[in-house]
Structure 1
């Protein structure tokens, strides 16, 4: 069988005669190669077997040798034509194996019975090996070839095989991509795990340090509490409740908190002069319940009243309206003259200490 097959025109086609086209057939190529090898081994077997059998059988050696090799070739060709139909090829396969064993046994027996002094012919040595090797090649290659198929069937089979090959290649690529993704994800997971571990370690170290510091502070507090117990009056102070709390503004003392000499008398002793500490602006603001006034920042009415009260009693005797207004400007506080005059009048009315001098100064300024 040749590796090229000729496609004959189909008379049933509407187009009439179609030119013959030769198409390549890999099955035919394999069979052709095996056939050439088998034909060469058959010639070698005929030549060697004839040389061995001719001295013993004479002219009968020729038909015997040709019959053995011809039948072996016929059985092999019949096995090829049977294709992959095992039931049809079973008997010819068995007969071919028997003839192969007979053809290989002739030179093998010659080698075993030949006297060593006459030497060894290389052809006699190679013949049984070539016969067995050729039959083995047919035994291995022939089942894979299958039956002979038409060109259209081979095209459909090739197309199907190509689809399967493409799908397998896609699966291989998908698997490779997934493996790469998993490897990258594994690396990222390891990095994230290391970062999380480092973060948790830092948090634990911070908690450990904080616990040690709090423990030491708690021990010091415990010692202080044990040695210096708070009086019951401290615990009796009521805490504010959100729904019930309202801001309260304690009334300021009408007294003069500046450094005022005070005279005290005792039995059989001379008078002694004592001084009290001057009240600061922060304390006055705390008592009034307003933020501490800051120079250069606009003041509310309450803050303006606190500043004027503090300036009035910052010295003894208390300042007048004009002196307090001048000290107010020099200290850098912000407020119009009208506001200062109104708050000063309210202060004097509240304290009930308005003097004629203050009234005259207010009238003159107005």
Structure 2
């Protein structure tokens, strides 16, 4: 990279020095002896070359001198001025003006080379920078891959949860339909004419004079009802059972139904067979 900036500057400097020397000798050779013109041309080129060498020495030491830089640009301006003056006094002024910028161009190239030297990095530093950049690119690629994988995993999880929820909903719907059909069957059986006959044939030998009634079970969650005011009493006799059933039935207004009374009866800790309890209910309700 050093050669890419220094070689154009060296070539431009050599061309501009030769051109300056030739112009001075041709232009002043007609007015003064050519030896004098040669000395003048060499003086301009020598001063320019000397200041350039000193600038390069300071740059190699990491230093800079503003006066030396000003003197170097002054020599470049003088050389350019000589070329412009010669072009204006020559019949082919356009051609000479086209090359009169070469001294300043050479100084500009040396300026560019100096800027590059002040910002140049060693191969080791450049290798470290490339390694850091590559590591950053690798980390970014890994992060993107991780995000894509997480997104795919989340999508799969959501799909599975949605599918499971749909299956649960279908099972619940099918269960509700089954329960509904079963409940309808129970209700049909309870309301049927043959149900009473069947119950009568079974319960009549046990409880004469009691007409059985089949109540449907409670479908769904139910909370046990506590009756703190009622203490557990002996229900061995029918009279005691009748008194207890009457107290529970009339504990609320309007009186409780058989199902509610039975639930409170058993929640209070009393015990009696369903046949005796229903018979007591019939007696007190009558």
Q: Is the 8 A contact 1:72 1:100 kept in 2?
A: yes
**Alpha-carbon displacement from aligned partner over 1:100-125 (angstroms, at most 9, x marks no partner):** 122112323444x458xx44564x24
Report the counterpart of residue 101 of structure 2 in structure 1.
129
When residues 193 and 233 of structure 1 are mapped into structure 2, their CA distance, relative to the original with a 3 A threshold, is: closer
Which structure dedicates a bigger proportion of its chain to helix? 2
**Alpha-carbon displacement from aligned partner over 1:134-163 (angstroms, at most 9, x marks no partner):** 1111111135447xxxxxxxxxxx9xx455
- Equivalent-residue separation in structure 2 for 1:95 and 1:209 (angstroms): 95
**Alpha-carbon displacement from aligned partner over 1:207-257 (angstroms, at most 9, x marks no partner):** 23223323433444454455555826989xxxxxxxxxxxxxxxxxxxxxx
What are the ranges of 5 or more consecutive residues in structure 1 without an aligned counterpart? 1-25, 147-157, 236-366
When residues 198 and 87 of structure 1 are mapped into structure 2, their CA distance, relative to the original with a 3 A threshold, is: closer
Report the counterpart of residue 201 of structure 1 in structure 2.
162
1:231 aligns with 2:214: yes
Deviation for aligned residue 1:75: 1.1
1:141 aligns with 2:113: yes
Deviation for aligned residue 1:39: 3.0
Which residue, out of 32, 38, 62, partners 1:58? 32
Q: What TM-score do the two structures reach when normalised by structure 1?
A: 0.42
Q: Is the 8 A contact 1:72 1:99 kept in 2?
A: yes
- Equivalent-residue separation in structure 1 for 2:173 and 2:7 (angstroms): 93
Alignment of 1:129-278 (within 5 A): 129-145=101-117, 161=122, 163-224=124-185, 226-229=187-190, 231=214
Superposition RMSD in Å: 3.9
Alignment of 1:1-366 (within 5 A): 34-35=9-10, 37-55=12-30, 57-59=31-33, 61-83=37-59, 89-111=65-87, 113=88, 118-120=91-93, 122=95, 124-145=96-117, 161=122, 163-224=124-185, 226-229=187-190, 231=214
**Alpha-carbon displacement from aligned partner over 1:283-313 (angstroms, at most 9, x marks no partner):** xxxxxxxxxxxxxxxxxxxxxxxxxxxxxxx
Q: Is the 8 A contact 1:68 1:99 kept in 2?
A: yes
- Equivalent-residue separation in structure 1 for 2:217 and 2:176 (angstroms): 25
When residues 178 and 120 of structure 1 are mapped into structure 2, their CA distance, relative to the original with a 3 A threshold, is: same
- Matched position secondary structure for 2:32: helix
Q: Is the 8 A contact 1:46 1:65 kept in 2?
A: yes
Q: Is the 8 A contact 1:78 1:89 kept in 2?
A: no
- Equivalent-residue separation in structure 2 for 1:197 and 1:34 (angstroms): 68
Deviation for aligned residue 1:78: 1.3
- Equivalent-residue separation in structure 2 for 1:31 and 1:65 (angstroms): 24
- Matched position secondary structure for 1:58: coil
When residues 223 and 108 of structure 1 are mapped into structure 2, their CA distance, relative to the original with a 3 A threshold, is: farther
- Equivalent-residue separation in structure 1 for 2:163 and 2:137 (angstroms): 39
